[in-house]
Each structure stands twice: as C-alpha cells, then as structure tokens.
Structure 1
Amino acid sequence: MKPSIDILISFGNKVKTFRKEKGISQEELAFRSDLHRTYIGMIERAEKNITLKNIEKIAIGLDISVLDLFK
C-alpha cells in the first residue's frame, strides 16, 4: 500500500503554521530541532516522509506536544 501524499501535505502545513505562529525561520526551527534547514523545508513542502524521531524533534523545537502536530 502506497502512503498518501495528503498526510505529508497536512503535516508539512502544520509544521509551517506553528513555525510562523512562533515567528521563527526554517533555519531557527532546524537549530532548535537539531535538524538541517533544508530538511525542514522539505517537510513543509511534503517532499519527505518524516520519521517518528524527527516528529518528536520538531515538536520539541516548536515547544509543542507531538499530538499538537496531528490535531
């Protein structure tokens, strides 16, 4: 079964929305999340199928719960 692109788009949009609400750049989120800036961009553009570990890192970087990214 092939994963749906819709979930990647939805997740990427959530990350972008929270990031913008916090007033931080992709570079700042990457620093806070211990990830590469280009990786954050790829997630926001739904170009990467992110792992659970990296979802947790992004939630920490955004100072939100993992659950918030899926609401």
Structure 2
Amino acid sequence: MDAVALLARNAQRIRKGLGLSQEEVAFRAGLKRSYLSDLERGTRNPSVRALGRIAHALDVSPSRLLDL
C-alpha cells in the first residue's frame, strides 16, 4: 500500500474513532474541509506540513498516520 492510501485509511479511521467530523479536524488543523476530504479519499497528495497539522489535530504522531 502506498503512503497516500495509508494516510487516507488511517486518518479516516482515527478521526471516526474519536467521533470527529471532517469539518472539526480541518478546523483544528487549519485546513479546508474539502482538502481533508480529498486526503481521506486518497485523491490528493499531502504536503509534509499538512501531515503534521492533521496529526496534531488528531493528537497522534505523524508516523501513526502512515502505519501499516
């Protein structure tokens, strides 16, 4: 599985596990909801900065978003 697919799967799984909406995570991360949606669908390549922001918003390490 490639890094984009791993991020998509893990970000969505963690977000839903925390009971958060895409809008709430995007707000916490300082990103647009549509950008987060694209990342969770695997249709957009994340920047390193976005990866860090999303991890912070989900209160996990960036490496957790890329775990197998």
Same fold, judged at TM 0.5 (above): yes
Q: Deviations over 1:28-47 (max 9, x none)?
A: 00001000000010000111
Q: Deviations over 1:1-36 (max 9, x none)?
A: xxxx84322210110001001100000000010000
Distance in 1 separating the partners of 2:66 and 2:9 = 11
**Unaligned ranges ≥5, structure 1:** none
Q: What is the aligned length? A: 67
Q: Which amino acid aligns with 2:25?
A: L
SS in 2 for 1:24: coil
Q: Deviations over 1:43-64 (max 9, x none)?
A: 0011100010100000000011
Does the aligned pair in 1 maintain the 2:3–2:66 contact within 8 Å? no
2:19 is the alignment partner of 1:53: no
Structure 1 residue 67: Cα displacement: 1.4
TM-score (norm 2): 0.91
- Deviating above 2 A after TM superposition, structure 1's stretches of 4 or more consecutive aligned residues are none
Question: Which has the higher relative contact order, 1 or 2, with Cα contacts under 8 A spaced 6 or more apart?
Answer: 2
Larger Rg: 1
Let me know the Cα RMSD of the aligned residues.
1.3
TM-score (norm 1): 0.87
